[in-house]
Amino acid sequence: MAAAAKIPVSLDGLKTGDICLFESLFREYYRPLVVYAMKYVRDTDAAKEIVQEFFVRLYEKRSSLAIDTSLKSYFYRSVYNSCINYISHMEMRNRHIKNLAMQSENEFSDNQVALIELQNRIYKSVEDMPVQCRRIFKLNRFEGLRNEQIAEKLGISKRTVETQISKALRILRKKLADYFPGGVQKY
């Protein structure tokens, strides 16, 4: 009952919106509450924000305040609860970020595996081509030679080179059809 005797003057002043009292409480408790919050959140900006939000909530809900302890105890308990909520929120946020990073890493790994599988399938398909078709295709696609250069190098007609490249592309489209559900574009 003795503690209740100290509260009414300040609590009544808060409930009626006494700005001078509110400013006085802010000046008296702001720094000590920030220092207290720092013990928990270990971030100066976060501690300041927590205490500022506490005072904003205190002012907004002043008419419905029901404090059964000293104002000081109420202030520290409220800031403590806000710190615990902040810590929980940050832990959840960090877990979410970590999960996203792991998911991205797994997707990247899955894409790499798929790419390697596709490359292996392409090389195997090329190796399975008839000898002349494979040789001409490799000179064109892997070594970058133009049709005229291939024809000259192999002593065959340019038309034969074109026919063999077309044949190689048909073989690849057929063997890789399951990798491209919409079909492979001709080029």
> How large is the average pLDDT for residues 159-183?
85
Selected residue with higher pLDDT from 108 and 89: 89
**pLDDT level of residue 12 (50, 70, 90 thresholds):** confident
pTM listed for this prediction: 0.52
Residue 130 and residue 120: Cα distance in Å, rounded?
18
Residues 146, 182: one domain? yes
Can you give the residue range of the structural domain that contains 38?
Answer: 2-90
- What is the reported pLDDT for 10? 57
Q: What is the pLDDT of residue 5?
A: 38
Please check whether residues 84 and 11 belong to one and the same domain. yes
Query: Within this chain, do residues 76 and 8 fall inside the same structural domain, yes or no?
Result: yes
Final residue before a domain boundary, out of 90, 107, 136: 90
Query: The CATH number of the domain where 176 resides is what?
Result: 1.10.10.10
> Residue 86's CB: how many other CB atoms inside 10 A?
19
- Has residue 143 been placed in a domain? yes
DSSP line for the chain:
-HHHHHHHHHHHHHHTT-HHHHHHHHHHHHHHHHHHHHHHH--HHHHHHHHHHHHHHHHHTGGG----S-HHHHHHHHHHHHHHHHHHHHHHHHHHHHHHHHHHHHHHHHHHHHHHHHHHHHHHHHHTS-HHHHHHHIIIIIS---HHHHHHHHT--HHHHHHHHHHHHHHHHHHTGGG-TT-PPP-
Count structural domains, the chain: 2
User: What pLDDT shows up at residue 184?
Assistant: 52
Band (35; pLDDT cuts 50, 70, 90): very high
